[in-house]
Structure 1
Amino acid sequence: MTESSPVPSGPGRPKDPAKREAILAAAQTLFLGNGYEGSSMDAIAAEAGVSKLTLYSHFKDKEALFGAAVKATCETRLPRRLFVLEHGREFRSVLLDIAQAFHELVISPESIGLHRLMVAMAAQNPTLSRMFFDAGPQKLLLDLEQLLDQAHRCQLLDVPEPMRAAEHFCSLIKGAAHFRLLIGYAERPDAEDGKRHVEDCVALFMRAYAGETDTVDRTGS
């Protein structure tokens, strides 16, 4: 069920970025701690230390706030700078940085809690499930698709279908360890095991999509 704003949104004073960040942080805390249905807009406003009117001036309803919270989490863990090809840099190094950041994200308590929440909500609120996927996993896949397409045009890899390759990449990184964490079967892997897993996955991906070279020396025109 969507909690709608009690007042129509419209132009007004500039919004305070600090209050927006506080609202997003509060939403992340309450959604994970109390679930989606158990987190009211009143409670989120109180947790953020803002009025309900201020909350609704930033987010029109709870679904919009949830989507923004998911997006903010992903952008913090996987910033845009990771998906940039730099002249003279090995593409393997680019993929390693992305893979490491993605692996740390998917095994984080926040991510595991969010995935469990979405599984529980899937049958009740498919719209929310789509919003979650579009704001988080789909955004990552699109960023990877663009990067892999550029690598293909630069002949760094042979990737004629970059979206399929992006899905392969993410599936490799998540692996069985993510499922074990999701169902509470195992503890979070330590840093050394995580690093070895990431390196193995990137090496396998590079072999599967081997190109002519592994160093950025052209713009892909």
Structure 2
Amino acid sequence: MSQQSVLLNRAGRPKDQAKRKAVLEAAKCLFLRKGYEGSSMDAIAAEAGVSKLTIYNHFSDKATLFSEAITAKCDEQLPERLFEFCPKASVESVLLMIGRNYYELISSQEAVELQRIVVAMANQEPRLARMFYEAGAQHMVREMSKLLIQATHADRLRVENPGKAAERFFCLLKGDDYFRVLIGICPPLVGEEAEQHVREVVGLFMNLYRCS
């Protein structure tokens, strides 16, 4: 096998990647419109314009497809490059960028609806709930922890427990209003209010972990 063939196999053929993306988009649309139980693999295949076999070539089952759809949504809004530590950039500016993108992600109607779906079926589908957590919240905490470790090693922050600090950061960004958003009694913050909220959270975080 030629080196070019090896590289193509590793990257995946463009046509296959296009089909995979189409399946993920179709899955997100149907899960939001009909819920998890109401979205069959046949319906997702029809929505994506592919065969059901094509779906199973990329995803082992519907739960895995759901988890991958969550991961794709998070990667769109919070790609791993946002968590890269740059010695030349201020830590505060990096946290502000992460904070803005995270708050925009959790405030989107798509994310709110997905959260409601998982909470509603958590007792019946604990595996699905765990996959949702691992693909979303846990993944972001892990990436944030790596950033905090690097910032601490560079004497830019003083964080003794990066995992807990990362959890606190995202919990502060959600704030007390997030539960009310989930149950539909208030809208998420937007515009200047959202920006002010993110800046206050980053300010509190920096005051807590800044090197003295």
Q: Tell me if TM exceeds 0.5.
A: yes
Counterpart Cα distance in 2 of 1:189 and 1:134: 26
In structure 2, the residue matched to 1:27 is 27
Corresponding letter in the other structure for 2:36: Y
In structure 2, the residue matched to 1:98 is 98
Deviation per residue, 1:124-173 (Å, 9 max, x gap)? 01011111111111000000011111111111111010000000000000
Counterpart Cα distance in 2 of 1:211 and 1:30: 48
Counterpart Cα distance in 2 of 1:188 and 1:150: 32
In structure 2, the residue matched to 1:76 is 76
Q: Alignment identity in percent?
A: 49
Q: Structure 2 length normalisation: TM-score?
A: 0.91
Q: Structure 1 length normalisation: TM-score?
A: 0.88
In structure 1, the residue matched to 2:36 is 36
Which has a greater percent of helix?
A: 2
Greater RCO (Cα-Cα under 8 Å, separation 6 or more) = 1
After alignment, is 53-62 or 198-207 more displaced?
A: 53-62
**Is 1:155 matched up with 2:139?**
no
In angstroms, what is the RMSD of aligned CA positions?
1.2
**Is 1:208 matched up with 2:190?**
no
Counterpart Cα distance in 2 of 1:69 and 1:121: 17
SS at match of 2:124: coil
Q: Specify every segment of 5 or more residues in structure 1 that has no aligned partner in the other structure, as ranges.
A: 1-12, 213-221
Q: Specify every segment of 5 or more residues in structure 2 that has no aligned partner in the other structure, as ranges.
A: 1-11
Deviation per residue, 1:82-120 (Å, 9 max, x gap)? 111223211000000000000000111011001101110
In structure 2, the residue matched to 1:194 is 194
Corresponding letter in the other structure for 2:95: L
TM superposition outliers: structure 1 runs of 4+ over 6 Å: none
Deviation per residue, 1:146-201 (Å, 9 max, x gap)? 11111111111110100000000000000022112101111232211000000000
In structure 2, the residue matched to 1:116 is 116
Counterpart Cα distance in 2 of 1:79 and 1:29: 21
Counterpart Cα distance in 1 of 2:176 and 2:160: 27
Counterpart Cα distance in 2 of 1:153 and 1:163: 15
In structure 2, the residue matched to 1:59 is 59
In structure 1, the residue matched to 2:50 is 50
The count of corresponding residues between Structure 1 and Structure 2 is: 200
Tell me the CA shift for residue 52 of structure 1: 0.9
